[in-house]
Structure 1
Amino acid sequence: MSNPLYVINVEAAIYKIDKYLIIKRSEKEEHAPGVLSLVGGKVEERMAENNVLENSVKREVLEEVGIEISNSFHYIESNSFVSDKGYIVVNIGFLCKYESGEPRCMSEDEVSEVHWMGYDEILSNPKAPSWLKKSINKAESVRLRVEKI
């Protein structure tokens, strides 16, 4: 991508029972280095494909933390922000259920820590940025609705 109009980013609020998988972004990341975050990344430029957002979420989760998530995705929210390089990023968040594997840092250039954290633990963590807390609030709302079904 030489000069994209938008960068499309997907992120996963992965839950296992009543905990969410939270990563600490690597200090080497160009955007938001060293902060707590959901797992996610860019939709890669490829040939046209069906389910591009869902496939991108599954790929990013596997690449960054080495786990599988279920095929059941629930939309949380979309928002946009300007990256540190000045690109407009369209961000789409999904609630995803943990399926299998032991989460670990797959690339030290992207993830420096992984943690299973409870909802209240995330909201009270001083190292969690406001945008993460907002996303977790929305994810928890969707999770509670989905779990009742």
Structure 2
Amino acid sequence: MSNPLYVINVEAAIYREDKYLIIKRSEKEEHALGVLSLVGGKVDGRTSENNVLENSVKREILEEVGVEVSNSLHYIESNSFISDKGYIVVNIGFLCKYESGEARCVSEDEVSEVHWMGYDEILSNPKAPSWLKSSLKKAESVRLIVENF
């Protein structure tokens, strides 16, 4: 099928101590060029597998920014949007705890900058889009529950 009915996307709010990993999307990306974002990407639907969402988000993190996260992923939210190319995208967000690796731009076609930023720093950043701030607020709520459990 050349035009899918929808695209499934996963994204990660990766935290390390009191900071989140935020990327600036590359100008070469298909959607949301050059904006601040969480790490993520499309689910590869070419094979059958268990835990496809979890495996996809961990794969995207490693491919885009070169870090590994713990195996304990926590659901944040799901939403949908229309991509710049007109596709309906179903987006699933996860909270992920940093495990290892140095955050860097592994895929320059997808990521042009990588930053560890504090929660308040992101919320007050005029370059952070409203959807990033909304996702981050939900991620922070989940993180506070997880960290205090």
User: TM-score normalized by structure 2?
Assistant: 0.98
User: 2 CA distance for matches of 1:11 and 1:30?
Assistant: 16
User: 2 CA distance for matches of 1:18 and 1:70?
Assistant: 16
Q: What per-residue deviation string (whole Å, max 9, x for no partner) do you get for residues 13-50 of structure 1?
A: 00001100000000111200000000000001221100
Give 1:24's aligned residue.
24
User: 2 CA distance for matches of 1:69 and 1:2?
Assistant: 33
Q: How many residues align?
A: 149
User: 2 CA distance for matches of 1:137 and 1:148?
Assistant: 17
Gaps of 5+ in 2: none
Give 1:47's aligned residue.
47
> What's the C-alpha RMSD, in Å, of the aligned pairs?
0.7
% of aligned pairs identical?
A: 87
Give 1:91's aligned residue.
91
User: 2 CA distance for matches of 1:10 and 1:108?
Assistant: 19
Give 2:148's aligned residue.
148
Does the alignment pair 1:128 with 2:128? yes
Give 2:37's aligned residue.
37
Task: Give, as a single letter, the amino acid of the residue that structure 1 aligns with 2:139.
Answer: A
User: 2 CA distance for matches of 1:41 and 1:30?
Assistant: 11
Task: Give, as a single letter, the amino acid of the residue that structure 2 aligns with 1:13.
Answer: A
Task: Give, as a single letter, the amino acid of the residue that structure 2 aligns with 1:117.
Answer: M
Gaps of 5+ in 1: none
User: 2 CA distance for matches of 1:47 and 1:110?
Assistant: 23
User: 1 CA distance for matches of 2:88 and 2:9?
Assistant: 10
Give 2:8's aligned residue.
8
Deviation at 1:121, TM superposition (A): 0.2
